[in-house]
Amino acid sequence: MSEKNLKYDLLIIGGGPGGYVAAIRASQLGLNVGLVEKENLGGVCLNWGCIPTKALLRSSEVKNLLDNSKSYGFSIPDYQVNFEDIIKRSRTVAKSLSSGVEHLMKKNKINVHKGLAKIIESSRDQKVVKVIDKEKNELKITSKFLIIATGATSKNLPFVSSDGKNILDYRTAMTPKELPKSLIIVGSGAIGSEFASFYNDLGCKVTIIEVQNKILPNEDHEISEFVLKSFKNRGVDIHINSELQSVNTKVSSVECEIKNGNKKLKLNADKLLLSVGIKPNVEDLGLEALNIEMEKGFIKTNELMKTSENGIYAIGDVTNGPWLAHKASHEGILCVDAIKGLKTHKIKKENIPGCTYSRPQIASIGLTEKKALELNHEIKVGRFPFIGNGKAIALGEPEGFIKTIFDKKTGEFLGAHLVGPEVTELIQGFAIAKKLETTEEDLMETIFPHPTLSEAMHESVLDAYDRVIHF
Amino acid sequence: MSNEILMPALSPTMEEGTLAKWLISEGDTISSGDLIAEIETDKATMEVESIFDGTIGKLFFNEGSEGIKVNTPIGIILDPGEKYDEKVHGPNIKFGSNENNDKELIKQDDGDKPFDQVEKKEQVSEQRSNTSDSDSAVNSNEKNRIFVSPLAKRIAREKSIDLNLIKGSGPHGRIVKKDVENHNLNSLPKEFKNSISDVSNFELVKNSSMRQTIAKRLVESKTNAPHFYLSIDCNIDDLLSFRKKVNDEFPEEGKISVNDIIVKVAGLTLNKVPECNVSWTNESTKFFKSSDISVAVAIDGGLITPIVRNVEEKGIHKISSEIKELVEKAKNGTLSPNEYNGGTFSISNLGMYGIKNFTAIINPPQSAILAVGSGQKLPIVKDDKVVICNVMNLTLSCDHRAIDGAVGAKFLQVFKKIIENPMLMSL
């Protein structure tokens, strides 16, 4: 056991997209900054989330293209799916990005300490953090400021926990040895829907169980309905308004019972994936001894990400949602700017876009139609289907639509909800529009290039004001 | 290099002035600080100094010229040796040439009248885009470009908030939605702020441009026009039965109201007492040839006075339907300026609120306004007997500069005579 003492201006706990981005920003601002990471730089996002799943979904997308190759003028009579290689590719992609972050840390002269951190002292002027690595070496770090960016892990249900064998979580669901023949997915948020799409495309029989009255519960109802239909057409079984009652794990399969109103139903599958939400990683951080206010298990912060304890900030999944990597990164930057004393901007939740990379893709920003009405907006709604868009037809992907919502009185751009080809790339245009507070007028006067999928964004806005051209 | 002598602004509110006297002549050599002219405003006469050296090239206005707008060139100072050339130094030459070009360009477009001016069916958003850049109420100080988000600009325009008063909190001081929505105390002038000790017990609402106009005109009226008030009671029993009869006999024409009849009677009365159908200016008094009656209509956030023109020539049904249409337009905010500018006499009726009588403020540049109270059943002595009659009180406010007491009294006398004997309306 060796003990060293280190001093920083700012110590960041957690090297995910919140923490490592905050560290780079701090280094840019000339702060003496250290980072503690328990496992791999890049966090869940790079290693076990956003990136590796995108690699998986790319494979299933390619398979889908191969299956439809005839319509593009190819006849590919026979091909092999090498599931192991698909998983391997996903891991390689994750690794290459994680080592990219390591390089970024070196380049920005950020000390990375591998191990688990615990805050052992917090006074007005300094915080002391103890880091214990795998070899049980202890390191004491003193810092003026702390940022907690420890992220979150998937939530279990009271009566069933993931075991990595037949009960999967997001992490084990992206590294199975072989393709399960059937899969029950509990929860139909972004994670559940992406895995449903991936496994379905690869030929696995997928069943979705959703407790709410629609899949993708956070999306606009029209998007949920559209995706529900699309999934069902592809052979995905979907049970909405259904609660998981019990799970019975057998040697190589899972049996579960669900309840829909008074109806009870038994389901069987090789595996079951729990994607029912996340819980923040706040345990063993030493928070209990501090004056840190919590809110529903998450760390409560002000708009500049400051916790109720002086000098301690929290960002990303460990704080309030939406739990998205880009939100965490953004919070990292703004909170370091605030620590440095720079003028910074607060995040508006309605300006954070959200993307789901299933087939069809889903992207949204701002208020849903229902939410806008709840907030007493008088609204104008536009819709444009990709069937009216030349590029989508040329791509052979004319399914989906773009819905836009405006405040009738002020023309405020309240929200956009997209489903269809490459909408996860399109949404950024709306994100800029929202950030710049454009009104319908500016969007209508913007020239969109032809032929692109983005024209559907323009047409949707035009439709909200009864000026749609191509439909 | 020549330098123009401009009509100076001698006070912050001065808009125009009179060139009382030139203190120099063309060809004089002057130095900076020399007195060059006496300028008269509505408040005072002041001497103006030159801020340039040189020779007086030309004086553009004769002594006694009135109403010269501030910043209009009134003369030109030339450098030694320079000669006055109308084409180079003449007033407005500097901008005139460009303006002419612009006009030419616009002229070429004259053939294409915007479609929406021909057929008023344009969409709201199109209307907006046409007006968005020319809306001076909000911001169009082109020299000081204001950085503002489109949404903030739209909200400011709708709330009639001057963007010049707002400090932006966005990147590089850009004004964003939040700034406009929070625009209250923060952006008020310091003096105002300091005079308020407790800021929590009220909400500051920025005055709309309509409220500001109303305030300006009413202050102007009460300040300039010496008001006097005459009041009279009218028995409206016959009027009410006349109205009932008309409405019973001609239901297809639409129901007429007491107010419609009052407008008609006012028009007839003005015809018989034209001395009340006037407008005062310092030099002369206008006697109007028609009775164009402004009817006060309460609308959201203020009031407006659309006009029924040539009342004396119109039947009551026609007047009634016109008023209905004007009130509708007023409430929708779709009145065109010629529908509310230029009446000759006003009527304000608060009878429907149960107001017995009140005095109204004259609507300048008119000289009289009739305030109409509610019809109320009252015991009246008639032929030495107490009987119950419907009585309505009328109060006429007159501008004493144009209308004397006896003239105003005559108006009310004639008005009363007609309204108590509705058949006289047919004369």
Q: What is the pLDDT of residue B57?
A: 86
The Cβ of residue B302 has, within 10 Å, a number of other Cβ atoms equal to: 16
Residues B221 and B260 in one domain: yes
**Residue B183 falls in the annotated catalytic set:** no
Average pLDDT over residues B397-416: 95
Residues A8 and A136 in one domain: yes
The pLDDT-based confidence of B285 (bands split at 50, 70, 90) is very high
Q: How many angstroms separate the first and last alpha carbons of chain A?
A: 72
Secondary element (H or E) of residue A148: strand A138-148
More confident residue, B300 or B227: B227
Position A267, amino acid: L
B93: containing domain: 3-102
Residues B142 and B219 in one domain: no
Residues B159 and B23 in one domain: no
Find the residue in B nearest to A436 (Cα). B149
Sheet holding B45-49, edge to edge: B45-49, B35-40, B16-22, B65-69
Cβ–Cβ under 8 Å, residues A117 and A285: yes
Looking at residue A457, which CATH number applies to its domain? 3.30.390.30
Residues A258 and A123 in one domain: no
Q: What is the pLDDT of residue B144?
A: 66
Q: Pick from A437, A465, A467: which is nearest to B151 by CB?
A: A437
Catalytic residue, candidates A113, A377, A450, A470: A450
Looking at residue B159, which CATH number applies to its domain? 4.10.320.10
Q: What is the pLDDT of residue B186?
A: 53
A192: closest CA of chain B, how far (Å)? 37
Q: What is the pLDDT of residue B1?
A: 67
pLDDT per residue as tens digits for the range A22-55: 999 999 999 999 999 999 999 999 999 999 999 9
Cβ separation B150–A465 shorter than 8 A: no
In this structure, is residue B113 part of a structural domain?
no
Residue B152 at interface with chain A, using a CB cutoff of 8 Å: yes
Chosen domain end from B206, B239, B254: B206
In this structure, is residue A252 part of a structural domain?
yes
Residues B246 and B344 in one domain: yes
Average pLDDT over residues A250-268: 94
Average pLDDT over residues B186-194: 51
Cβ separation B158–A438 shorter than 8 A: no
A70: closest CA of chain B, how far (Å)? 47
Cβ separation B149–A345 shorter than 8 A: no
B326: closest CA of chain A, how far (Å)? 24
In this structure, is residue B130 part of a structural domain?
no
pLDDT per residue as tens digits for the range B231-241: 999 999 999 99
Residues A222 and A319 in one domain: no
The pLDDT-based confidence of B418 (bands split at 50, 70, 90) is very high
Select from A408, A406, A400, A401 the least CA-distant residue to A434.
Answer: A406
Residue B149 at interface with chain A, using a CB cutoff of 8 Å: yes
- Report the distance separating Cα B22 and Cα B35, nearest Å: 9
Residues B66 and B201 in one domain: no
Looking at residue A75, which CATH number applies to its domain? 3.50.50.60
A444: closest CA of chain B, how far (Å)? 10
Q: Pick from B123, B151, B176: which is nearest to A439 by CB?
A: B151
In this structure, is residue B117 part of a structural domain?
no
Counting the structural domains of chain B, the total is 3
In this structure, is residue A433 part of a structural domain?
yes
| Neighbouring residues of B328: CB distance < 8 A, sequence distance ≥ 6 | none
pLDDT per residue as tens digits for the range A387-409: 999 999 999 999 999 999 999 99
In this structure, is residue A125 part of a structural domain?
yes
Residues A191 and A243 in one domain: yes
Residues A231 and A100 in one domain: no
Q: What is the pLDDT of residue B141?
A: 46
Residues A7 and A69 in one domain: yes
Cβ separation B149–A436 shorter than 8 A: yes
Average pLDDT over residues A346-362: 95
Select from A114, A133, A358, A323 the least CA-distant residue to A228.
Answer: A358
In this structure, is residue B291 part of a structural domain?
yes
pLDDT per residue as tens digits for the range B112-169: 555 655 554 444 444 444 444 444 444 444 456 888 999 999 988 888 888 888 888 8
Residues B281 and B140 in one domain: no
Residues A271 and A171 in one domain: yes
Q: In degrees to the nearest 10, what's the CA dihedral of A403, A409, A411, A414?
A: -50
- From chain A, which residues contact B within 8 Å (Cβ)? 345, 409-413, 436-442, 444-445, 465-467
Distances (CA, A) of A345 to A301, A305, A310, B147, B173: 15, 11, 20, 17, 12
pLDDT per residue as tens digits for the range A424-451: 999 999 999 999 999 999 999 999 999 9
Residues B355 and B246 in one domain: yes
In this structure, is residue A139 part of a structural domain?
yes
Select from B355, B345, B394, B397 the least CA-distant residue to B372.
Answer: B394
Q: What is the pLDDT of residue A337?
A: 95
Q: Is the pLDDT of residue A232 over 90?
A: yes
In this structure, is residue B32 part of a structural domain?
yes
Residues A386 and A251 in one domain: no
Counting the structural domains of chain A, the total is 3
Chosen domain end from A226, A255, A276: A276
Chosen domain end from B102, B120, B153: B102
Residues B311 and B377 in one domain: yes
In this structure, is residue B116 part of a structural domain?
no
In this structure, is residue B359 part of a structural domain?
yes
Looking at residue B52, which CATH number applies to its domain? 2.40.50.100
In this structure, is residue A124 part of a structural domain?
yes
Chosen domain end from B186, B206, B226: B206
Cβ separation A441–B176 shorter than 8 A: no
Select from A255, A286, A222 the least CA-distant residue to A13.
Answer: A286
In this structure, is residue A83 part of a structural domain?
yes
Is the Cα dihedral B416, B418, B419, B421 positive or negative? positive
A449: containing domain: 360-464
pLDDT per residue as tens digits for the range B300-358: 888 889 999 999 899 999 999 999 999 998 888 888 888 888 899 999 999 989 999 99
In this structure, is residue A159 part of a structural domain?
no
Q: What is the mean pLDDT of chain A?
A: 95
The pLDDT-based confidence of B184 (bands split at 50, 70, 90) is low
Residues B309 and B421 in one domain: yes
- Report the distance separating Cα B56 and Cα B22, nearest Å: 11
Residues A8 and A141 in one domain: yes
